[in-house]
Amino acid sequence: MKELDAQTLAAAAVVPSPRQLAWQNMEFYAFLHFGVNTFTDSEWGTGSENPDCFQPKNLDCRQWAKVIKAAGMRGMLLTAKHHDGFCLWPTETTDHSVASSSWRDGKGDVVREAAEAARNSGLAFGLYLSPWDRHEASYGTGEAYNEFYRRQLRELLTNYGELFCVWFDGACGEGKDGRKQVYDWESYFSLIRELQPNAVISICGRDVRWCGNEAGVGRSSEWSVVPWFHSEADRIAGVAAGEKAPKKIDPAFWDLGSRKAIRNAGKLIWYPAEVDVSIRPGWFYHEKEDWGVKALAKLREIYYKSVGANASLLLNIPPNREGKIADRDVETLLSLGAQLQIDFKENLAEGSTLTADYCKDDRHTAQMALDPDPARYWHSGAFSKPVEFILDLGEDFDINKVVLKEHIATGQQIEKFSLWWDSNLLGEGAPKWERLASETVIGHKRVCRFDERRLQRLKLVIEEARGFATLEAFEAY
Ligand code: FUL
């Protein structure tokens, strides 16, 4: 076992805020890019679009919610305004909005319909409001624009019920005559904290970290405790217009949280990762990209490499000109939902026996990790040596997945673990342990997948941890 140093112990003591903790349980939720681009067939609008082009023939946010829910997602995040500046709600801040379109005689409000549909389906609701605004004349003038932007935020934060997330991207294109807008992020953040204290502020914010690409690729070791400067990076970068997001993680940012990565860091923060990706090549709907809807196998892989590897998954499903999720996307999403239901149909570890070499006290025995109540979990006390858990299912089952969770309310400490199965099926003589997986972090959730085995006993070894370790769940499927 590695020696503990002060920096490692400091990392082990960092815990999520209540809003971050609630967000972790969202796991998988939808992004909806919808706006004038849907009708002009573009990805980045110019800001000079005629509002009247916004004509969803048959807007049906209930259909969005139904599909999102059936796909196994827990929330929806709508682009209330993209870089073109066109607002999907009847704002008082500009006439570049749905109120200036003849669609529904200027009385439409997509944000309201989406928020209501989400809530009626038991989905959380969140908003994206692009700071970069290619329409607004005050963009690039500094405080005047910041005030304009805060007024837009205020409308969205007060009129549409509880939001689980406000999502900021860092795009910061030039304004008129090459003017550069300096965003007053701090004032945006404090407004959100004041009006929606439970909402996480994502990407260019301090609660949720962008994974670093838009291709759906997460890290194999995704640490939630990282040096604080990562929470500034996307804002400072102020991604210039025209720059495309990378397709993969910059190798220099592959390791954000190992002991080596945090060695020289000052402040450490809880800043968990989100993987964002579109079901289609683009973020907005384009008929010509109907061929490019990702296949079920690809989406499932993305799911396991994000949700199954201590990140959340924000999957973009752009509505079409009808104002609906297109048939192909619906088909794929329904099969994804069905597949995930099959994948996690029955937790075979429920009701079985889990023992560990040691635990802190009677209230934190290994058996607690089988209790679905997150308040009941195993705690090592001081992590004095590697700890072995034995899960005995009582009889043989065909198993190909194990789900592990740390009790992240007390932080993230596990650094290395391995999973084994007893191939001595007859149970006579000594167990014959064979390795199934060897991994680093667990965090909120780690799904270990392996070739199906018929087995009765599994062994988990926590090999390295930061001073202490916890286990909130040990599930087998
Ligand atoms: C980027 C934007 O420029 C894209 O259009 C899209 O909204 C993506 C989620 O964020 O920064």
Read off the pLDDT of residues 308-342 as tens digits, 9 standing for 90 and up.
Answer: 999 999 999 999 999 999 999 999 999 999 999 99
For a ligand 1 pocket test, name from 129, 168, 283 the mutation site with the most ligand atoms within 8 angstroms of its C-beta.
283
Q: Do 148 and 13 share a structural domain?
A: yes
Cα distances (Å, whole numbers) of residue 230 to 55, 187, 207, 236, 265: 40, 20, 11, 10, 11
Nearest atom in ligand 1 to 170's CA? 11
Average the pLDDT over 388-406 and give the result: 97
Pair (333, 387) in one structural domain? no
Residue-wise burial string across 127-161, b where 16 or more C-beta atoms lie within 10 A, e elsewhere: bbbbbbbbbbebbbbeeebbebbbebbebbbeebe
What percentage of the chain exceeds 70 in pLDDT?
Answer: 97
Considering 325, 343, 361, which residue would you say is the last residue of a domain? 343
Question: Which pLDDT score, from 0 to 100, does residue 242 have?
Answer: 47
Mark whether 335 and 358 lie in a shared domain.
no
Domain with 437, as residue range(s), is 353-476
pTM of the model: 0.97
Q: Which of 169, 280, 315 to mutate to test the pocket of ligand 1 (most atoms within 8 A of CB)?
A: 169
- Closest atom, ligand 1, to C-alpha of 316: 9
Q: Ligand 1 pocket: which of 81, 214, 278 to mutate (most atoms <8 Å of CB)?
A: 214
Q: Taking the alpha carbons of 36, 38, 44, 49 in that order, is the dihedral positive or negative?
A: negative
Q: Which two tokens stand for residue 473?
A: 């769940």
CATH number at residue 153: 3.20.20.80
Domain assignment present for 1: no
Q: What is the pLDDT of residue 243?
A: 56
CA of 31 to the centre of ligand 1 (A): 11
User: Relative to the CA of 239, which ligand 1 atom is closest?
Assistant: 11
Which band of pLDDT confidence, cut at 50, 70 and 90, is reported for residue 112?
Answer: very high
CA of 169 to the centre of ligand 1 (A): 7
Identify whether 348 is part of a domain: no
Structure token pair of residue 158: 């007060």
Say whether both 379 and 466 belong to one domain.
yes
> Does residue 408 carry a pLDDT above 50?
yes
| Whether residue 381 sits in one domain with residue 308 | no
The ligand 1 atom nearest the CA atom of 43: 5
- Which of 286, 462, 283 is CA-nearest to residue 381? 462
* Whether residues 432 and 324 fall in one domain: no
Q: How far apart are CA 213 and CA 250, in angstroms?
A: 8
- Final residue of a domain: which of 343, 364, 393? 343
Verify that 184 and 94 share a domain, yes or no: yes
**Domain assignment of residue 412, yes or no:** yes
Q: Quick one: tokens of 277?
A: 């990706």
The pLDDT confidence band at residue 240, using thresholds 50, 70 and 90, is: very low
CATH code of residue 380: 2.60.120.260
64 and 126 both lie in a single domain: yes
CA 176 – ligand 1 centroid, Å: 21
Boundary (domain end) residue, out of 343, 371, 400 = 343
Task: Check whether residue 244 and residue 319 sit in a common domain.
Answer: yes
Q: What pLDDT, on the 0 to 100 scale, is given for residue 389? A: 98
Q: Give the pLDDT mean for 22-39.
A: 98
**What total number of domains does the chain contain?**
2
420 CA distance to ligand 1 middle (Å): 42
Write the residue with the smallest CA distance to atom 6 of ligand 1: 283
For position 232, what pLDDT does the model report? 86
- Asked if 262 and 362 sit in the same domain, the reply is no
How far apart are alpha carbons 14 and 16 in whole angstroms?
7
Whether residue 146 is predicted with pLDDT greater than 90 in this model: the reply is yes
Q: If pLDDT is split at 50, 70 and 90, which confidence band does 237 have?
A: low
Give how far the C-alpha of residue 171 lies from the chain's centroid of Cα atoms, to the nearest Å.
20
C-beta separation of 72 from 26 below 8 A: no
Is 106 part of any domain?
yes
Do 183 and 34 belong to one domain? yes
Same domain, 320 and 447: no
